Amino acid sequence: MADTVKPDHIRLFIPGPVEVRKEILEAQGQWMIGHRSADFEALFTTVQGKLRQAFFTQSRVYVSTSSGTGLWEAASRNCIRDDRRVLHLVNGAFSERWAYVSKANGKQVDVIEAEWGKSVKPEQLAEQLKKQSYDAVALVLNETSTGVKAPLEEMVGIIKQYPDTLILVDAVSIFGGYKIDVDRLGLDFVLTSTQKAMGLPPGLAFAASSDAVLARAKQVSNRGYYFDLVELEAFLVKNNTPTTPNISLMFATDKQLDYMLAEGLENRFARHQKMAEMTRDWVQENGFAMFSEEGYHSPTVSTIANTRNVDVKALNKYLKGRGMILSDGYGKLKDKTFRIAHMADLTPTDVTELLTAIGDCIKG
Ligand SMILES: *Cc1c(COP(=O)(O)O)cnc(C)c1O
């Protein structure tokens, strides 16, 4: 979109919801089908097949009509027995909140905390697992508040030494923009939601889930109902969901997964990597600094230390005039950082346009 053309909408460079293709918005406008119909079963089946490809799993992918937070609740409730503990790795607002969700569901929680902007280190995890046995380790692969990506492979290598410890991964702001090889890594529960790197409107959440999770869930007495994985499984095997799903968004998901697979997942991951690198180069060249620690930068969202004390509110007002918007810092990082989400269907050209506009605003 050239600067001279008046934009018909605001392009979102925020970490969810993101810019969504017009075709995908329109795909939601189809006539309803009954969720107990053969047509729905066919829709569920085709979406399920494509989701398994995107998660690199032969196993199941649960479909939940909720945002990603609902599947936090599912993971916490189903994977941890009453007399056992869960270990949460906390290094930002989202990982902190997931630990809270486990507590709020009555679970016994331990936490390894890292300073915001840093990642919990594999050695810290190894040390804690030697001291205490856990039903699960819960980690956020991409901490959206700080732009930090966890060293998943190294962490998995450590947790795998404890076969009874399930690996629960929040992939909400990274799934679709980075390869998460669920089966090869042996991850037990990997959850995401539609409105971030998948490039869909909000309203559905997905989780690739192992047999071990199901076996564990059966040993947990109070799983609730809406997020009971045993119940979700009973319907999944019939290509259905226990309760009425967001059918409109399932139409859109089907179509967006087609776009993702047509682009090629590896190409998609490379595009995200490229946009992240462009952003980091710009940060370097323009007197800013990355808030995330070196070696742990996210491929989907850059959290930038506001070293030049830019008025982010004024910046966004300016950007809006040019049809774009970025994100201020999250929570306690509100004024200290700003964030550029480069995810979903945004392209390097979009990123260049945004960075150019930011430059124009700061100069002007
Ligand atoms: C956005 C986000 C969530 C919350 O997801 P919702 O779909 O809004 O419930 C959880 N974790 C991370 C890392 C996120 O970025």
Domain ranges of the chain: 11-20+265-363, 23-261
The fold of 11-20+265-363 is Aspartate Aminotransferase, domain 1 (3.90.1150)
Local confidence pLDDT in tens for the 364 residues of the chain: 455 567 899 999 999 999 999 999 999 999 999 999 999 999 999 999 999 999 999 999 999 999 999 999 999 999 999 999 999 999 999 999 999 999 999 999 999 999 999 999 999 999 999 999 999 999 999 999 999 999 999 999 999 999 999 999 999 999 999 999 999 999 999 999 999 999 999 999 999 999 999 999 999 999 999 999 999 999 999 999 999 999 999 999 999 999 999 999 999 999 999 999 999 999 999 999 999 999 999 999 999 999 999 999 999 999 999 999 999 999 999 989 999 999 999 999 999 999 999 999 999 7
Domain 23-261, architecture per CATH: 3-Layer(aba) Sandwich (3.40)
Cβ 173 under 6 angstroms from ligand 1: yes
The residue with tokens 């392209």 is 347
Instruction: Compute the distance from residue 90 Cα to the ligand 1 centre, in Å.
Output: 14
Instruction: Compute the distance from residue 73 Cα to the ligand 1 centre, in Å.
Output: 12
Cβ 93 under 6 angstroms from ligand 1: no
Instruction: Compute the distance from residue 20 Cα to the ligand 1 centre, in Å.
Output: 17
Cβ 20 under 6 angstroms from ligand 1: no
Q: Provide the pLDDT for residue 211.
A: 98
205 Cα nearest atom in ligand 1 = 7
Cβ 65 under 6 angstroms from ligand 1: no
Cβ 94 under 6 angstroms from ligand 1: yes
Cβ 16 under 6 angstroms from ligand 1: yes
